[in-house]
């Protein structure tokens, strides 16, 4: 057929036209809508669950801190430490009990409490102080050789606190002086 100037464009077959964004989105939602809703719910529940766990942990810590603050007597501290074994505040309770025993010249009890505190507060700022107390409890409890060895260990620990190292050196000097070892 000859081409004429008033020729109309041919009708476009609907099957050959690519679907638009809206049709694609509608098809995706029809196929995956339930899965998308379930995934959103799972993510939401995970977020809420994590928040709830953090809230419960914070409430537990607040309860432990309140119980520690309320423990005023030695018996209450012992009960607190036993009920919260392994918690840093239980270590602080053992440290307080050790200091009380040391002040009362109950050096065997002090050694036991310092040892408990040391096992809990290993990497805390109190670690050197605990080791110093344990060493002095040994010295004053009659085990001078073990105490002196522990004090030497503190002095030789270059990563330890300078105040702890200085006090350990001071006590070593007193022990050496009392034993007549002026060269030490």
pLDDT band at 19 (very low <50, low <70, confident <90, very high): confident
Q: What pTM did the predictor assign?
A: 0.73
φ, ψ of residue 139 to 5 degrees: the values are -60, -50
Please report the DSSP string for the chain in residue order. ----TTPPPPPPPGGGSPP-HHHHHHHHHHHHHHHHHHHHHHHHHHHHHHHHHHHHHHHHHHHHHHHHHH--SHHHHHHHHHHTTTSHHHHHHHHHHHHHHHHTT-HHHHHHHHHHHHHHSTTSTTHHHHHHHHHHHHHHTT-HHHHHHHHHHHHH-TTS-HHHHHHHHHHHHHHHHHTT-TT-
Instruction: Specify the residue for token string 């994590």.
Output: 50
- What is residue 4's predicted lDDT score, i.e. its pLDDT? 55
Using CA atoms, how far residue 8 sits from 15, 17, 29, in Å, is: 20, 19, 38
- Residue range 118-140: average pLDDT? 95
| Whole-number pLDDT of residue 8 | 60
User: Which long-range contacts link 20-25 to residues 24+ away (Cβ below 8 Å)?
Assistant: none
pLDDT at residue 9 greater than cutoff 60: no
- 120: nearest Cα among 86, 79, 82: 86
33-64: pLDDT as tens digits = 899 999 999 999 999 999 999 999 999 999 99
């Amino acid at each position: 057929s000859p081409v004429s100037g008033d020729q109309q464009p041919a009708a476009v077959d609907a099957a050959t036209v690519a679907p638009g964004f809206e049709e694609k989105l509608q098809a995706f939602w029809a196929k995956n809508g339930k899965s998308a809703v379930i995934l959103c719910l799972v993510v939401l529940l995970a977020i809420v669950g994590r928040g709830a766990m953090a809230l419960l942990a914070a409430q537990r810590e607040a309860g432990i801190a309140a119980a520690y603050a309320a423990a005023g007597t030695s018996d209450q501290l012992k009960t607190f430490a036993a009920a919260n074994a392994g918690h840093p505040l239980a270590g602080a309770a053992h440290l307080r009990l050790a200091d009380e025993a040391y002040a009362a010249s109950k050096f065997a009890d002090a050694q036991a409490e310092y040892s408990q505190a040391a096992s809990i507060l290993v990497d805390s700022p109190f670690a050197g102080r605990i080791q110093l107390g344990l060493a002095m409890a040994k010295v004053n409890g009659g085990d001078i050789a073990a105490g002196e060895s522990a004090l030497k260990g503190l002095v030789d620990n270059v990563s330890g606190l300078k105040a702890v190292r200085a006090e350990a050196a001071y006590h070593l000097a007193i022990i050496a002086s009392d034993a007549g070892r002026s060269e030490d």
